[in-house]
Every structure is written in C-alpha cells, then in structure tokens.
Structure 1
Amino acid sequence: MPIPSAVRVQPRELLRDNVYMSLRDAIVDGTLAPGERLRDTEIESWLGVSRTPIREALLRLERAGLVVSRPGRSTTVAPFDAASTVSAQQVAASMHELAARLAVPLLTESELSELEHANSALERALADGDTEAALHEDDRFHEVLVRVGRNTMVAEVLEIATPLLRRVERLRFASFGARDSVAQHAAIIAAARAGDADAAATLSRENWLSLSYVAD
C-alpha cells in the first residue's frame, strides 16, 4: 500500500470521521488503487491512530462499496464495478431530485446567488482544464440544495452513494462532456428562480443520470 508522505495527526473529537475521510479520499483520488491491500499497521503509521478507528472506518468504506473485506485474510480497495456504480448513480439521482424539490420553496436570493456563483466557477474550472476545481464547484452547487432542503437522511444516503461515483467521476470532468453540466445547472437555477420545484427536481435527477461511467 503506498503510504502518503505526510503524517496526519487526527483531532480526538473527530477521530473516527477523519480516519474515514482520509481513507475515502485516498481511494477516490486514486492514491489507493483498485486491488490495493489495506494493512492496519501501514494505516496506523500514516494517520497516527490506533487500530480501532481504522477498523470502524474500513467497515464504513465496505458499506459504501469502496473496499472488500475477506475476514481473516485481507482488506483491499474494491475494483471498479459498473453495476454498483450505476446503482449508486440511481440512488444519488433520486436523493438530489428530492433535495431540489424540498429546497426550491425555501431558497433565498443569497442561496440562489450561491448556485449561480458555483456554476460560474464550474464553467471557469472546466475551461482551465482544472478537474479538481470542477469537481469541487459541482459539489458546491449541489450541496446548496441538499443543505437548504433540510432533510438529514438525504445527506446521509448521499454520503454512502457519492464516494463510489466520485472515484470515476473524474473521467467525465476531465472531458468535454462535462460542459453539459453547466447548462444543466443553469436550467435548474432558472426553474428554482421561477419557483418551479417539480421542474428543478426533474432537472436535478436528469443531471445526475446524464453522467456516464466507464471503468478502465
């Protein structure tokens, strides 16, 4: 397992979440590749934590479909799997559809501006070929609707579904096809400004279902 050079000391109060997020992000960004064996001792050295939060994090990652555990044998980064990715995509699309439907009646002018700024920043990032910034701005756009919708279960389900998608979503945001997202976001904003929650919800769902995932 390739251990990142920087040792990350985890704040005690956020230990479990930070260990989970550190491992999740390393899998999502490709630092830990599909098939990579995850050894507790190496993770301990990297993150500077005990084995208990590591095991808890690995269980969460297994539930999210990012690792495969063989009790008594090994834990490895899960391979790309088209069926699992499509399943996660369908769940994410439904959750973002619900988030938009709940959020539109509650959106303030400030929050509508947040959506516009995020979409403009996404467009700039795509024009610059900055995939990481594009992913960040796409997240920022959708997070406004999830936050304003005020349904905590939506966020919890997306925490499970999104990482599995994000591992291969870079393929889209590194391509010209990602530019469709800017126009799709603009249509969502227009529906939201018009107070049309149903249209915004449908457009949000279509935005997520339009992503095409191809494993190497």
Structure 2
Amino acid sequence: MEKKLSPIKLDSYQPLREVVCESLRDAIRRGVLKPGERLMEIQLAEELGVSRTPVREAIRKLELEGYVIMMPRRGTYVASMSIRDINEIFEIRTALESLSNGLAAERITDEELESLQRLLVMIGGYVEEGNMDKIVETDIEFHDLLYRAARNSRLVGIISNLREQLTRFRTLSMSYPGRLETTLEEHREIVEAIAEGDVKRAKKAAEHHMEMSEKTLLKAVDANKKNEKTKRARKAAK
C-alpha cells in the first residue's frame, strides 16, 4: 500500500485512539482511502506515527460506523456503498428524521428556534458565495441542533450513526446542480413547520427532505461513475 497518510499531531486533548479514528475517517470521506481498499494495521501505524493498538481500536470503531468491513481470515477493507445500502439507510433515516422533527416541533425552545433561523441565513449566504466547506459545516450544525431539540438522546445516537455512513457522499450530493438551492428551501419548510408547532407538517417536511436527498445522491453517484469511466477511457486512449 503506497503511503497516503500524514503523521498525526500528538498534542491533541483527545485520546489517541480518537485522533487516529478521526484521521482514518477523514481519509475515507475524502477518498484518500478508497472503497474496497485493504487496510493494513502495521502500514497505517507507520504512516500515522503511532503504535498498532490505537489503530486497531480505531478500526473497530469505524466498523461500527460502517466505514470499514472486517472479514475473518481476509483482512480489513474500506466499506463500499451499494445502491441497496443507500436505499436501506434512507428508509430507516427517513422514519427517524420524521420522528425527530415531530418531537422538535413539540419540544424546541425559543433560543434553539432562533439559532435554527440564524443558521438558515448563514447557509443562504454561503450558497451565494459558493463556499462548499462552510455549507457542509453549517448544514451539519443545523441538523445537530434539530436532533437536540427532539430531546431524545437515543434517537440522536441512532440518526447520527446512519448519517455518518453517508457522510463521504455529502459534498458529492450537495455539488449536484441545483441541489443547494432546493436544500435551502427544504430546510426553510422544516423550520417554519417547527416554529408553528405543527407536528404533522414537520414530519412531512422531513420526509420530503430525505426523499429529495436520496434522489439527488443516487443521481450524483451515477453521474460520478460515468465521469470516472470517461476519464479512464480517455487515459487508456492516450
């Protein structure tokens, strides 16, 4: 395996296994470690400048999050995400997002509602600027706040785990033509419903948002595959 990772900084307040896990997770999200690629503990430990123990612990956590697959007698690999996997995740997440929004409509505080509205304005500004990094960062903050407003820690944990499994596709999906603008409108619909305390409308808004997110992601994945195929064909023709 060619060297792909940089040594981690050991001055973090986090436990080493968490720092290693974050580094590997980020590498998978950015495509540095690609789907189907085998992960060798010794190689990863050398590249990151740590012992094998925190690498092993990090890999176990990443398996629970769906980022890697550990196969007996065959090794550990970066998990691939099939269309069926995406469909299954969205089926579950849609139901849970609907529940979360409904609870938020009943339980959100005035301060949290103001924060949601402020985040909407920020996202709109970043969309106009075309600042994808800030859009992604603020979108995560927006949804995290929605989940907290539901006042159900177990629900938050389950949704967060499902969301993590699709994080590697977030930028790809949001970069799809027209998606940023429609996402902003979907978010506004969610906030308006919650502000009015309309549980039924809040649930429907969440379901619509998930439906559109899934459709866009599948289109983006398909377009990306075609682009990669075209690039390989052109490279082979040279």
- The CA deviation at 1:77 is 1.1
The answer to whether residue 125 in structure 2 is matched with residue 124 in structure 1 is yes
- In the TM superposition, what is the alpha-carbon distance from 1:62 to its structure 2 partner? 2.4
Select which of 208, 212, 217 maps to 1:213: 217
| Alpha-carbon RMSD | 2.2
Give the alignment's TM-score, normalised by structure 1.
Answer: 0.87
Distance apart, 1:11 and its partner CA: 5.1
With over 3 angstroms needed to count, the CA separation of the structure-2 counterparts of 1:33 and 1:41, relative to structure 1, is same
Q: Deviations over 1:52-108 (max 9, x none)?
A: 332232223223332122223321212231111221122222222222122222222
Count of equivalent residues: 216
Report the TM-score when normalising by structure 2.
0.80
Partner Cα distance (1:52, 1:5) in 2: 18
Aligned to 1:17: 18
1:138-170 Cα offsets, whole Å, 9 max, x none, are 111111111121212122212321122121122
Q: What's 1:164 paired with?
A: 165
Matches within 5 A, 1:84-163: 84-163=85-164
Identity %: 28
Q: Paired residue for 2:192, among 180, 184, 190?
A: 190
Question: Does 1 or 2 have the higher relative contact order (CA < 8 Å, sep 6+)?
Answer: 1
Moved over 4 A (4+): 10-13
User: 40-49 or 26-35: which moved more?
Assistant: 40-49
> What residue number does 2:34 align with?
33
Does the CA-based 8 Å contact 1:62-1:68 persist in structure 2?
yes
Any residues of structure 2 matched to 1:19-98 within 5 Å, and which?
19-98=20-99
Q: Is the radius of gyration larger for structure 1 or structure 2?
A: 2
Structure 1: give runs of 5+ residues left out of the alignment: none
Extract unaligned runs of 5+ from structure 2. Answer: 226-238
